[in-house]
């Protein structure tokens, strides 16, 4: 099968590309390399079944051409990360809405299946736990620009489901919950890579707020397994799925776990949110997915434990530091 992955040089996309190549598919990656990295694709260079197209999902003609050549599309390209969204909210809106529109309209022309990356952020300020795919969504005030990302992704979902109804577009919506693991960058506020890097360097681990806010972290290998199974499951078409684990941990406890597993002498420092983010930021106390629909549909749920995620990140960063030292 010919598969197009937008944002395929990114964290999740590069792991997905490797898996699909290993299963015998032809893979084309479209990425502008603004947040994705060419080195994420190094293992696939030279494979005749793999191609990297450096370009922008806002380039409608390019997107139409690549989608027309594909049998299936994984649309993962987006402006992501709370830090990036807070610093450049207009970029997030334009990329996440305009780029998705280009992909979906191109796919609708030929009825090409699209697996659309969304986010747990769409649940907003919902207070019913765990979050179920059919729950009502509650978004904060527009002056709090943190919610621009959630609203843009909600609009992406609405457009995808509208085209499914009106034009028969085969679409599956993927709401990712804190996917992490090797290759994830800490540049845009991703907590685990930042914690691990700080611990290995003996720097303080900066916990935003009081640290009692909790999240659920899924290994990227589990997320990719879910995507591959969904692609092979016709019953998934037209539905929304939470992609994540329901193993919950507070951010303070996460920092403590990282320090223990690295054997670091680092300390934990609490930093008020206003020292980190511009005005208009709100933090949510909990984010917990209901993954029962995913399990019923594909007989799988993310299950690799948090300790495995942390130890994989530690191993990756130590290997990177060793390579850097050898090249000095």
Q: Which residues are catalytic?
A: 149
The count of other CB atoms within 10 Å of the CB of residue 158 is 10
The tokens describing 255, both together, are: 């920092």
Q: What's the burial of 265, exposed, middle or buried (CB within 10 Å: 0-12/13-18/19+)?
A: exposed
Nearest residue to 16 via CA among 214, 187, 176: 176
Dihedral pair phi/psi, residue 86, rounded to 5°: -70, -35
Specify the DSSP element, H or E, that contains 175: strand 171-176
Q: What's the burial of 234, exposed, middle or buried (CB within 10 Å: 0-12/13-18/19+)?
A: exposed
Distance CA 220, CA 218 (A): 6
Dihedral pair phi/psi, residue 20, rounded to 5°: -65, -40
For residue 54, is the peptide bond before it cis, meaning its omega torsion is within 30 degrees of 0? no
Nearest residue to 5 via CA among 27, 20, 24: 27
Relative to beta strand 114-119, strand 72-75 is: parallel
Specify the DSSP element, H or E, that contains 268: strand 268-271
Specify the DSSP element, H or E, that contains 29: strand 26-31
The count of other CB atoms within 10 Å of the CB of residue 279 is 9
């Amino acid at each position: 099968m010919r598969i197009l992955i937008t944002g395929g040089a990114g964290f999740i996309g590069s792991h997905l590309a490797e898996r699909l190549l290993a299963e015998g598919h032809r893979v084309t990656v479209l990425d502008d390399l603004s947040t994705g990295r060419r080195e994420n694709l190094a293992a696939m260079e030279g494979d005749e079944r793999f191609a990297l197209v450096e370009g922008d999902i806002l380039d409608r003609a390019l997107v139409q051409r690549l989608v027309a050549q594909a049998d299936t599309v994984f649309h993962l390209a987006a402006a992501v990360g709370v830090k990036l969204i807070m610093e450049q909210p207009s970029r997030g809106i334009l990329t996440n809405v305009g780029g998705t529109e280009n992909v979906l309209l191109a796919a609708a022309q030929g009825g090409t299946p699209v697996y659309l990356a969304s986010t747990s952020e769409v649940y907003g300020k919902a207070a019913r736990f765990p979050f179920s795919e059919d729950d009502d969504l509650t978004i904060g005030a527009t002056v709090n620009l943190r919610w621009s990302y959630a609203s843009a992704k909600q609009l992406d979902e609405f457009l995808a489901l509208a085209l499914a109804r009106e034009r028969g577009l085969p679409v599956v919506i993927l709401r990712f919950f804190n996917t992490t693991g090797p290759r994830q960058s800490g540049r845009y506020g991703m907590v685990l890579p930042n914690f691990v890097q700080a611990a290995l360097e003996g720097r303080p681990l900066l916990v935003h707020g009081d640290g009692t806010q909790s999240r659920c972290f899924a290994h990227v290998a589990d997320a990719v397994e879910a995507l591959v199974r969904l692609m092979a499951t016709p019953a998934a078409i037209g539905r929304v799925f939470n992609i994540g684990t329901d193993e919950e941990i507070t951010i303070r406890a996460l920092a403590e776990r990282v320090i223990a597993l690295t054997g670091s002498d680092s300390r934990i420092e609490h930093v008020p949110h206003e020292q980190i983010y511009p005005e208009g930021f709100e933090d949510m106390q909990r984010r917990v997915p209901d993954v029962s629909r995913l399990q019923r549909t594909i007989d799988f749920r993310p299950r690799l434990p948090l300790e495995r995620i942390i130890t994989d990140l530690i191993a990756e960063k130590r290997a990177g530091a060793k390579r850097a030292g050898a090249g000095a």
